[in-house]
Chains A and B, each alone.
Chain A
Amino acid sequence: MIDAVAGLLDAQGPGHSRQRPGDAQSRGEHRSVAQPSVAQPAVERPSVKAPDGEQVGGEQAGSGYLPESTASNQQQAAAGPQAARPLRALVIGYGSPIRGDDAIGPLVADRLAAQLAADPALGDGVEVQARHILTAEIVDDLVRAERVVFIDAAADLTPGEVRCCRLAPDTATLSTMAHFHDPRELLAWCAALYQRSPQAWLVSAGGADWGYASYSLSSTAQGAVEPMIAEILVLISPSP
């Protein structure tokens, strides 16, 4: 799926202003990282306010967002051990594997998964998913994670350019289709159903070719893979 988040963020209404990475309650901040150099900012842990005003996330969140013991948690546990396992970070790369550079999300996810598997300390508590699209059941995974990084291709960026956007729950992104959901809508599902939502970012890269391909990228998009992985590693790194 090709993201157009920048445009949507701009349309969030009066009073919205772009904020620096790490600012609390930011809804539309993003930074572009000129390829091939990659900015490596210190990752702050901004707070997100749930709809009820409860402060969640950031250093206030303690060990994570999952409640100590709730009916829903018990229900999750009954569904299987994996369903209840809290995650330090969840990384979800999504896009069509057969539409050229739209595959960059799942391809980067695959590369990252291999990298984390080779370094257990780095990958501890991190789950990486490669998906075609974002669907409703992902909410069950999102709510287990302290931080979530979505990876997608972008049509509104210069080909090869990498961007990192902070995401926040947004009910205005409600999808009229069931096939695909905006990541901010799924974060809003988390907030509405569980009164908490993970800290979330969208790391995207401009694509150059959207024609048919078999899980492969144009050379331009290929050049964005390593910068994206570097960006994601910063976002999911354990707090000092």
Chain B
Amino acid sequence: MTLCTLPGTATMSRTISIDPVTRIEGHARISLQLADSGEVEDAKFHLTQFRGFEKFCEGRPYREMPALTARTCGICPVSHLLASNKACDDLLAVSIPPTAEKLRRIMNLAQLLQSHALSFFHLSSPDLLLGWDSDPAQRNIFGVMAQNPELAKQGIKLRQIGQTIIEMLGGKKIHPTWVVPGGVNEPLDSSKREAMLEMLPNALTIAKDTYALFKTMVPRFKDEAEHFGTMPTMFLSLVSPKGQLEHYDGFLRLKDAEGRIVEDMVPPSDYPRIIGEAVEDFSYMKFPYYKPMGYPNGIYRVGPLARLNNADSCGTPFADVALAEFHMLQEDSGPVRSSFHYHYARLVEIIFAIEMMQRLLKDQGILDTRVRARARGNRNEGIGVAEAPRGTLMHHYRIDDAGLISWVDLIIATGHNNLAMNQSIKQVADAYVDGNKLSEGMLNRVEAMIRCYDPCLSCASHAFGQMPLSIELKDAAGNTLDRLVRDA
């Protein structure tokens, strides 16, 4: 990734690059550019933190990469752990034992369960239950607890079940080290399997009840569904060899806004052929795009919305029913285009994750003790791709003959959505910005729209009720007309 500076904000750029607190906090900034007519001409989502993982990993032994890159995030470390280990499997040139793959899948699904539960129940439910125009002082998790305490309890329970399964498999909830290059370092024992299976029926009941509740709420959000990121984009995700919903392996599929398959069954190792990365001077987040269409026309979205749009089916009973209902959200026969429906897609995926974990845990080979293939580095380049809760995650490493990392490229889910998030902000601004004055309601909706994507800006957007955010309104000459700041 190329370092860039923010034009005209040299002081801020310097501060960000040298202040670790600022980097950790991950504040986001949004700027809106007005045309002479007063209409919004451009919108930019600035990620003003710099992490530098791709650079400081250079020179490290490749076996350190899973532990190093997992530190990218405290919410989705499992996703990085899996993608990194898959890249290391590729460096080893091994095929991991089937049981190891199933166990990794279970951990990935448990991660998806806890992360989606966090996004829906704790981060987005204040918007959904209390409304965009409610008092910001009340529009938080305590407001949800007051209005619907059972929903908050259920969110806690789902997240606890996901985290407990991760802990049972990996030894700890945050930054587990159980997944290793070549497989996993310990087989599953029967007592843990039984304990996991005992928890999952309760999880499925909660998931189905919540799904049923949200279905009744969706019609209330007609306006938001029409304005929260409905622009035509493509959708990228992994699918299984049969075209089904896939989170761990499989092949890349890209559909266009009308539902036509643009790329299909692309081996993950071939991603550099179809994905390019652009850099803009206003953000530290890269801008991936579909190479054959160029930048920025090659805009696409990833994550739950894309995965459900791309999947022919889920392959589990309740999730398949929910998938059919998901497709009915779009009036025409094309993919579901509104980013507001990321929330819906998350609930479908929670159901799928629970059903699939049950299936995998009941697999007769799941207790097999052969769970690791051992080898030394046999290739100088390795690629690992998996579906993180927020979308397709790519780890790409090159090593020298001593096994030291010489080059790293990480394409994270939130990065894939960068172009789409910028366009979504523009759309919300077009709909809600009136003249030269910003309103609290507009700020709330921009914030809520960003939250639909559940972006992982290494913390900044994982906010309860209020995320640290500033919005600037500028005229055609670049003069600041108005500014709203919301501190953490």
Nearest to B118 among chain A residues (CB) is: A178
* A192: B residues at CB distance < 8 A: 142, 145-146, 149, 152
Q: Tell me, yes or no, whether B153 is within 8 Å of chain A by CB.
A: yes
Give A76 to B202 CA distance when docked, in angstroms.
9
Separation of A193 and B148 alpha carbons in the complex (Å): 9
CB contact list, B138-159 vs A, under 8 A: 140-142, 145-146, 149-150, 152-153, 155-157, 159
| Cα A192 to Cα B148 with chains together (Å) | 11
Closest chain A residue, CB of each to CB of B149: A193
Report A180 CB to chain B, min CB distance, Å: 8
Identify which of B211-219, B274-282, B321-329, B457-465 touches chain A. Answer: B457-465
Choice from B75, B146, B152, B175 contacting A179 with Cβ under 8 Å: B75
CB-CB contacts below 8 Å: A141-180 with B:
171, 174-180
Stretch at the interface among A27-35, A118-126, A131-139: A131-139
Q: Is the pair A176, B488 in contact by a Cβ cutoff of 8 Å?
A: yes
Q: Which of B141, B159, B174, B201 contacts A133 (CB 8 A)?
A: B174
In the complex, whether B74 has a CB less than 8 A from a CB of chain A is yes
Contact code string B432-471 (vs A, CB < 8 Å = 1, else 0): 0000000000000000000000000001001111111000
CB contacts (< 8 Å) of B159 on chain A: these are 135-137
A72 surroundings in chain B (CB, below 8 A) = 150, 153
Judge whether B172 is part of the interface by a CB distance below 8 angstroms: yes
In the complex, what residues of A have CB within 8 A of residue B153's CB?
A: 72, 75, 193
Total residues of chain B contacting the partner, CB 8 A = 40
Contact, CB under 8 Å: B464 / A135: no
Q: Within residues 156 to 179 of chain B, which ones have a CB less than 8 A from any CB in chain A? A: 156-157, 159-161, 163, 172-175
Whole-angstrom distance between the Cβ of A77 and the nearest chain B Cβ: 9
A179–B459 touching, CB < 8 Å: yes
Cβ A79 vs Cβ B202 within 8 A: yes
Binary contact readout B98-142 vs A (1 if CB under 8 angstroms, 0 otherwise): 000000000000000010001000110000000000000000111
Query: Is A78 engaged at the interface, CB distance under 8 Å to the other chain?
Result: yes
Is A140 located at the chain interface by the 8 A CB criterion? yes
Contacting B at CB under 8 A, from A194-222, are none
Measured CA separation A79–B205 after assembly (Å): 11
User: Is A50's beta carbon under 8 Å from chain B?
Assistant: no
* Min CB–CB distance B486 → chain A (angstroms): 10
Is the CB–CB distance between A140 and B157 below 8 Å? yes
Inter-chain contact B156/A133, CB cutoff 8 Å: no
Tell me if A176 and B142 are in contact (CB < 8 A): no
- Check B156–A136 contact: CB distance below 8 A: yes
A188 CB–B CB distance under 8 Å: yes
B156 touches A179 (CB 8 A): no
**B145 pairs with A193, CB closer than 8 A:** yes
User: Which of B152, B175, B464 is the one whose CB lies under 8 Å from A175?
Assistant: B464
Residues of chain A within 8 A of B140, CB atoms compared: 174
Is B198 close to A, CB under 8 A?
Answer: yes
User: Which of B142, B145, B201, B459 touches A177 (beta carbons < 8 Å)?
Assistant: B459
Known: A79-B198, A174-B465. 16 other contacts (CB 8 A): A79-B161, A132-B174, A135-B174, A136-B155, A136-B156, A137-B156, A139-B156, A176-B464, A176-B465, A177-B462, A178-B122, A179-B74, A189-B141, A189-B152, A192-B149, A193-B145
- Which B residues have a C-beta under 8 Å from some C-beta of A? 74-75, 114, 118, 122-123, 140-142, 145-146, 149-150, 152-153, 155-157, 159-161, 163, 172-175, 195, 198-199, 201-202, 459, 462-468, 488
A-B contact pairs, 15 of them (CB 8 A): A78-B202, A79-B199, A135-B173, A136-B118, A137-B157, A139-B156, A140-B156, A174-B140, A176-B488, A177-B464, A178-B462, A178-B463, A178-B464, A179-B459, A180-B74
